[in-house]
Structure 1
Amino acid sequence: MARLGALLVAAALGAVLSFALLAAAVASDYWYVLEVADAGNRSGPGRAEHLSSHSGLWSTCEGHSSCIPLIDPFTSESLDTSVQHLISLHRAVVVVLPLSLILLVCGWVCGLLGSLAQSVPLLLVTGCYFLLGGALTLAGISVYISYSHLAFEETARQYGAQHVQAVNISFGWSSALAWGSCAAEALSGALLLAAAHALSLSRQPGAPHSVVI
């Protein structure tokens, strides 16, 4: 039963870590980083400061200026199909990732109840729940990556490829935190499934006192 306790504690810690990482990722503004290379020779320091930026799910920060809310990127009076698609992707991301946070809390409560009640079915359901939650987080990250690439392509199309040749784009530490949260959530789900299996074996007739997975 010591192995069972270790699995349950590890799963609980993984769930807490997953929530903390995803909450920090959703709240921060370093998902997408845009920098101008050799800006001094190409367009001057002022222009470089204007182009360099970093953004998150809710706001974007240009240069050293304060961040401004990010509401429906590329909005205009007449939106073409490609821009509407970008807006739909962005809206999907800002719904899916906060929803993953809420589901993490619900999953942690279910896991706690399953641990206290020593319920194999509840531990199994909660383990699958965490795996599905990790898949949802992964889907949100994937949609954001797709949105970012399409947004850059749309910017190049609207303003001309020559204006973005000196621009380097990358994903910042906020997206790395989201990836870490996804991995921790999937690990918690796997640990809960292993705990349910260990508990089931310990209840079988003639099972040894020490269960080895």
Structure 2
Amino acid sequence: MKYGLVVLSAGLSGLLSFTFLALAIGTDYWYIIDGNKPNHTGPNDLSSHSGLWRIIEGANMSSVISSFTANMSSLSDTEKHLLGLHKVVVIVLPLSLVLLVLGWIFGLVSSLARSPKLLAASACYFLLCGLFTLSGVSIYIKYSNQAMEEIQRIVPPENLAFVQVSFGWSLALAWLSYSLEVAAGLLLLLAARITQLKGHYDSGVAIAMF
């Protein structure tokens, strides 16, 4: 496989992973709740969708998720635990986004230098970014499931009979970003191997000539 094609694919994967993660963090379709009854035609829309930073209720109502400014003294232990999980998510995922920028620059320098060690280091860096993204997404899923369990514990079952919940396309973008981060890391490892083999081949040719 050609070195240029491999590093180009790795760079494109890294760029797309950043784009998809940025879109995921900035949009509000991580979690979707549809509370409308079948054949609902009334003026009140009981559906909502939320992102990492705010909750959109109905057509035009929104509220900010105040994890860092909430009055902890007035919250139950379960609510404190949920806010703690949410804080981790909104720290880890933006951090992963910043790391991706640095990783892309590091990968570009490594590919231009054609250094096996630098390429391998860049690959490990991208895999580390993928670990951050995977951790953030996994914690968000845990946070959402526990929040729904708490709602089910408090709200009578008959009030939740028509409620449907699902994860949205923002979360899917985050998963796609994670997949591309891993792909970029593996491609950089392949580029490092190609460079290493080429170096051994060139050395062997040089020795044979003498």
**d(CA) in 1 for partners of 2:108 and 2:137?**
27
Q: Does 1:45 align with 2:42?
A: yes
The residue aligned with 2:58 is 63
1:203 is aligned with what amino acid? G
Q: What residue in structure 1 maps to residue 177 of structure 2?
A: 181
Q: Displacement of 1:39 after TM fit?
A: 5.4
Residues of 2 paired with 1:66 and 1:117: CA distance?
A: 52
Distance 2:160 2:79 in 1: 18
The answer to whether residue 6 in structure 2 is matched with residue 4 in structure 1 is no
Mark the runs of 5 or more structure 2 residues left unpaired by the alignment: 206-210
TM-score (ref. length: structure 2):
0.89
1-structure distance, mates of 2:157, 2:67: 23
- Could you tell me which amino acid in structure 1 is paired with residue 151 of structure 2? T
The answer to whether structure 1 residue 206 and structure 2 residue 204 are counterparts is: yes
Deviation at 1:69, TM superposition (A): 1.3
Q: Could you say which residue in structure 1 is the equivalent of 2:91?
A: 95
Amino-acid identity (%):
44
SS of 2:204's equivalent in the other structure is: coil
What is the match of residue 146 of structure 2?
150
Displacement of 1:40? 5.9
Runs of 4 or more, structure 1, over 3 Å off, are 44-47
TM-score, length of structure 1 as denominator length:
0.88
CA RMSD of aligned residues (A): 2.1
Aligned residue in 2 for 1:162: 158
Looking at structure 2, the residues matched to 62 and 70 of structure 1 have their Cα atoms a distance apart, in angstroms, of: 13
Name the stretch that deviates more: 32-41 or 78-87: 32-41
CA–CA distance in 2 between the matches of 1:38 and 1:196? Answer: 57
Instruction: Count residues with an aligned counterpart.
Output: 202
AA matched with 2:27: S
Deviates more, 1:158-167 or 1:93-102: 158-167
Amino acid of the residue matched to residue 204 of structure 2? G
Distance in 2, matches of 1:95 and 1:163, equals: 34
**How far is the alpha carbon of 1:33 from its aligned partner?**
0.4
User: Given residue 26 of structure 1, which amino acid in structure 2 is its aligned partner?
Assistant: I
What does residue 211 of structure 1 align with?
A: none
Q: How far off is 1:198 after superposition?
A: 0.4
SS of the equivalent of 1:170 reads strand
Q: Is 1:108–2:104 an aligned residue pair?
A: yes
Distance 1:85 1:46, change over 3 A: farther
Q: Which moved more, 1:84-93 or 1:156-165?
A: 156-165
Counterparts of 1:9-48 in structure 2, within 5 Å, are: 9-38=8-37, 45=42
Corresponding residue for 2:208?
none
Following superposition, the deviation at residue 46 of structure 1 comes to 5.3
